[in-house]
Structure 1
Amino acid sequence: MSGKARMRATVAASGIAALVATGVVGAVTATSASAADHPDANGRSQHVLLISVDGMHQSDLNWYVSQHPDSTLAKLTRGGTEYTNAKTSNPSDSDPGGTALMTGGNPKSTGVYYDVEYSHKVDEAGAQCTPGKAATGGDVIYDSPDDALASVNDLAPTGTGSFPSFDENGSIYPQGVDTNPAAIMNLTFDPKTSLNPGTFPVDPKTCQPITPWDYLGDNTIFQVIHKAGLRTAWSDKHAVYASFNGPGSGGQSIDDLFAPEIDSQAVMPNGIPYPQDDDWAHINAATKQYDGYKVQAVLNEIGGLDHSGKTKVGTPAILGMNFQTVSVAQKIRSTPTTLIHNPDGSYTTSAPEAGGYAWVQGQLVPGPVLSSALDYVDAQLGRMVASIQKAGLTDKTTIIVTAKHGQSPQDPNKLVTVKDGPIVDAINAAWAQTHPGTASLIVAGTDDDLWQSYLSDTSAAATSFVKDYLWNHTAQGYDVNKKPVTVQHSGLAEIWAGADAASFFGVAANDGRYPDVFGKVQEGIVYAKPTKLAEHGGMNSGDTHVLMVVDGPRIPARVIGAPVETTQVAPTILSVLGLNPASLTAVQKEGTRVLPGLAGWRQDR
């Protein structure tokens, strides 16, 4: 045990009596109680609270704990096991990152590479299909366009655009007019009506749309826990994350799914759109309001109610949510942090402040918006811990705090934004010169701070052509001050193509789902307009090195610096609940292990 770990263990043991007397602190540190205090002789928990603070790095946790030693995050970290070298899935996008937490699998077994991806083994949504005919290839877009109400009019008086509906299926707000956003707590997910199957990719064998849960190659913790007769709940940013129900579930293994659409129009509590007239993910004050609805859902569930707070159902065995507030604060250049309720009942926002990170006295630290976002998340975690204590569940609940993904770059001086459209157009034009009359070579791809291309021709000649073009051409971009710069190799540091790309992901060359050309960007490159400070999805440290803290009954107070992966959360949750981690197909395929150093937990449980 390291000196830091020994010190932490000593603090937890000697200070517990004093800390229990201090309210919320007691709720946190009391989770380090001995097995004798636990009602289960085997030390198992009855509940797991899983929290993903999307975008939060280990370095953010280090900074926050050092600046706020009495914070909830600090107390959870001191009272439990902190894993300082935790890595996300690769790619580190929200969908594969969240799927990793729920399955224990990487894209090679889950088949999920991005929220907007492509597969050579499906037909395009809405395309003509003959059962049993070879697949033509098609987009696999499991995102807000899948909402049953994916387009409702802008509510702002001068607005001319449209947004997806906040309640995704129009069950609460007629025609999506959400003039009372608090009513979102009444949202109920229905696998038959909440999503539009007309947007799903089509299975060429049956010519039927493939639901997001059936697209997964692995089962999920919700399936295993639900099958064991235990209640399950989850809150997230898109209804399409019903995918976490898992294949063959009919979308029903999450008993209480609460997923208001984050891409919908941000509306203040009085029903008036925010003056910025944007969605919840582009105004940090609005993101906090949005996350607050999910927080309330979790608080209701801790108290034994459904997410709406209306029906007594019992506290779920697995529950939790993702926070978007930190991720938004890392990406936006300037945004208000606070919604202000005026004496006359109206609402305004605070003045915009700088997003992302800043250099202060030679140290890279969270700027004002990000610091405020971390404060917000910490306060909400404190509310959850206090609710666990109030419900008498402290010695029955394990808390896991991690992140689906990080964000890159952290250093704003490394930022270079590059538009990927001109690069794709140039590659297609160059291919057409020697292949006249053929289809566009690059037919799909999503490039945030990585490169992914799916090709109409997957031959070695075609994939090598794209790889060589990317490597041998420069690209034009903008630095953080929006000054033009030229980057080498199209902004990439390494490229895998064709069979090499399949080998990189560990899948067969004819798998059909992996990107035909996959690239790691030079640190700081973001394929976007010069409005963002950072993005996620890539494989640099800022994308993948996230926090990981586990606190609960019989969880020792220690620091573990050995490498771990967020995939290990899923088998750990099952083990903590006394279920068999090997019930997860990803555990069987990939050999995913329970997180190390958790006293009393075994892989074979």
Structure 2
Amino acid sequence: MPRYTRPALVGLATATAAALCGLPALNANAAEGRPSASKHVLLISIDGMHQSDLDWYIANHPGSTLARLTHTGSEYTNAETSNPSDSDPGGTALMTGGNPRSTGVYYDVEYSHKTDEPGAACTPGRPATGGDVIYDSPDDALANVNDFINPANGTFPSFDENGSVYAQGVDTNPAAIMNLKFDPKTSLNPKTFPVDPKTCKPITPWDYLGDNTIFQVIHNAGLRTAWSDKHEVYASFNGPGSNGQSIDDLFSPEIDSQAVMPNGVPYPQDDDWAHIDAATKQYDGYKVQAVLDEIGGRDHSGKTKVGTPAIFGMNFQTVSVAQKIRSTPTTLIGPDAHGNYTTSAPEAGGYQWVHGKLVPGPVLSSALDYVNAQLGRMVRAIHKDGLAGSTTIIVTAKHGQSPQDPNKLVTVQDGPIVSAINAAWAKTHPSNKSLIVAGTDDDLWQSYLSDNSQAASDFVKRYLWDHTAQGYDVNKKPVTVKHSGLAQIWAGAAAAHFFGVPVNNGHYPDVFGEVQQGIVYAKPTKLAEHGGMNTGDRHVLMIVDGPGIPAQVESASVETTQVAPTILSVLGLNPHELTAVKVEHTKVLPGLAGRRWDQ
């Protein structure tokens, strides 16, 4: 079989072994050669982190927490995300065990021919008109907070989404975000939800899911659940029919809100938490604190004793931001004697070529150091609180990022292409001037059409393939790309077949395209993006460490969907309680099966 058992730590260099042994192993029962049920699973998504990043980091930091986890647990070196590989459906894949074919979630900003537009007039039972399905920061109950530095610049969503922590969303003490509480009735704005044409009622993000989630199965088993993420709308992970209540402790401060330093002063860069890497670390730090509080048996605020959850965890944004931003400060400096803060000088984001090797640049290297340090804090807390013999840690990523090689980057603006397609269609269809009505094109192509006939889909495919697009390379010099920047296109029935759904499914993109390596549909400000299907988008890290987990390296292909059934199996629950496991036949990660339902 394509796996091998890791050598004992004594085979490592003395200094490395000492560093690794400084954190006792979680897999106390591994020597017995069989899995041992845990009481707790800590799930960590380091968004954007590739397997190649893990390999580089361990090689350069052999005494790191990441190195220890790989040496005492199971490392899966050929793990792939969902396809598409955006934060969603990537996050939903981790929580359900399913891909879009069963979850119905194709992207965090998508469209459906089976719904009506948010807020549309509706007559129950009539055919759907089609509408946007945008489960993202616009769904926040309080999503219009003026720019703190210059209100003329526009608005941000509120850090606390619903305005319950900061009056009118004015954030003067960001640490108070730890008091944020999710309320399924008030934290989100149902007017932004797509409308069900059968009932004329808004469809909540959790009810839009086609599959149940690990949180539902674990909660229904009488166990506590918790999760921390970047948007409150990831309350979708509660799952259908849950009334938004299967995650007992959801903590999701809004990452698209304006970044504010610890003293309440906005970052001088005047941007959100996801565009200043020093701020992203501060932001991730609140979620880290939530996890530490939960390890200690309290709720995320640290105020109420509730017991350590059976399933809990968070996503890190720091690495993803460091991969995408061209130049950004890495460090928040302060406070000084007057309580003031500043940031370090901007440094280069993304990857760099050094001595013929592609390696993380200074911002990304700093981000990896930060994440490793926070993982170390969590592992030490698990040992300090006596949970090492009952806790399994899973570290993976919702998505990767592409391109890694900056020399392959070509940014292309998709707006002019969409406008040209609509204009070309209107010449022979004067009553329909907007053929493409929706779509999100990060480093893939997705078009939803007002006419979703095969003929219309083929028209868009032909135009995209015959069109020569203008773009910019990493140095912002003009370049020309063939086929609109695409390598392959699926249209109409072919797109349905690609996703494994019926043609009349209504949720999948009418036209779906794989980009040429390096293409990103954006202004020439980014270094990379996620969502596509190239190796950089999908080849992510996967580590499992805990009691009964064998120390092994597994090179067989696995998918992040396998995390969900693995979590249930580790907790002694039946993975087949997940509908996606039954529909897609999702397996427990190899080498970890051992109970009757894992076979």
TM, length-normalised to structure 1: 0.96
* Equivalence for 1:31: 26
Identity score, percent = 80
Q: Is 2:37 aligned against 1:44?
A: yes
Q: Is 2:304 aligned against 1:306?
A: no
Please tell me the residue identity of whatever aligns with 1:451. Answer: W
* Equivalence for 2:221: 228
* Equivalence for 1:10: 8
**Structure 1 residues 92, 162: closer, same or farther in 2, change over 3 A?**
same
1:161-195 deviation line (CA, Å, top 9, x unaligned)? 21000000000100000100000000000000000
Cα offset for 1:95? 1.1
* Equivalence for 2:190: 197
1:381-396 equivalent positions in 2, closer than 5 A: 381-396=375-390
CA contact (8 A) 1:19 1:26 kept: no
Cα offset for 1:461? 1.0
Cα offset for 1:10? 2.5
CA contact (8 A) 1:575 1:602 kept: no
Among 105, 119, 124, which residue is 1:112 paired with? 105
1:76-155 equivalent positions in 2, closer than 5 A: 76-155=69-148
Q: Is 2:446 aligned against 1:448?
A: no
Q: Is 2:247 aligned against 1:254?
A: yes
Among 469, 477, 483, which residue is 1:475 paired with? 469
C-alpha distance in structure 2 between counterparts of 1:512 and 1:370, whole Å: 39
Cα offset for 1:600? 3.4
Question: Which shifted more, 162-171 or 29-38?
Answer: 29-38
**Structure 1 residues 127, 70: closer, same or farther in 2, change over 3 A?**
same
Please tell me the residue identity of whatever aligns with 1:550. Answer: V
C-alpha distance in structure 2 between counterparts of 1:105 and 1:597, whole Å: 21
C-alpha distance in structure 2 between counterparts of 1:581 and 1:26, whole Å: 34
CA contact (8 A) 1:166 1:262 kept: yes
C-alpha distance in structure 1 between counterparts of 2:290 and 2:329, whole Å: 25
C-alpha distance in structure 1 between counterparts of 2:30 and 2:327, whole Å: 49
1:493-532 deviation line (CA, Å, top 9, x unaligned)? 0000000000000000000000000000000000000000
C-alpha distance in structure 1 between counterparts of 2:596 and 2:587, whole Å: 9
Give ranges in structure 1 of 5+ residues lacking alignment.
none
Among 370, 373, 378, which residue is 2:367 paired with? 373
* Equivalence for 1:171: 164
* Equivalence for 1:56: 49
CA contact (8 A) 2:112 2:507 kept: yes
Among 336, 342, 347, which residue is 1:348 paired with? 342
C-alpha distance in structure 1 between counterparts of 2:25 and 2:429, whole Å: 68
Cα offset for 1:9? 3.5
CA contact (8 A) 2:113 2:506 kept: yes
C-alpha distance in structure 2 between counterparts of 1:487 and 1:37, whole Å: 57
* Equivalence for 2:324: 331
1:387-415 deviation line (CA, Å, top 9, x unaligned)? 00011000100000000000000000000
Count of aligned positions: 598
Cα offset for 1:51? 0.2
CA contact (8 A) 1:473 1:488 kept: yes
Cα offset for 1:344? 2.6
Cα offset for 1:602? 5.3
C-alpha distance in structure 2 between counterparts of 1:573 and 1:32, whole Å: 15
Give secondary structure in 2 for the equivalent of 1:417.
strand
CA contact (8 A) 2:165 2:176 kept: yes
Give secondary structure in 2 for the equivalent of 1:30.
coil
* Equivalence for 2:313: 320
Please tell me the residue identity of whatever aligns with 1:554. Answer: G
Give secondary structure in 1 for the equivalent of 2:505.
coil
CA contact (8 A) 2:35 2:548 kept: no
Cα offset for 1:599? 5.9
TM, length-normalised to structure 2: 0.97
Cα offset for 1:225? 0.1
Please tell me the residue identity of whatever aligns with 1:98. Answer: G
CA contact (8 A) 1:556 1:599 kept: no
1:100-122 deviation line (CA, Å, top 9, x unaligned)? 00000000000000000000000
Q: Is 2:407 aligned against 1:413?
A: yes
Cα offset for 1:20? 10
Give ranges in structure 2 of 5+ residues lacking alignment.
none
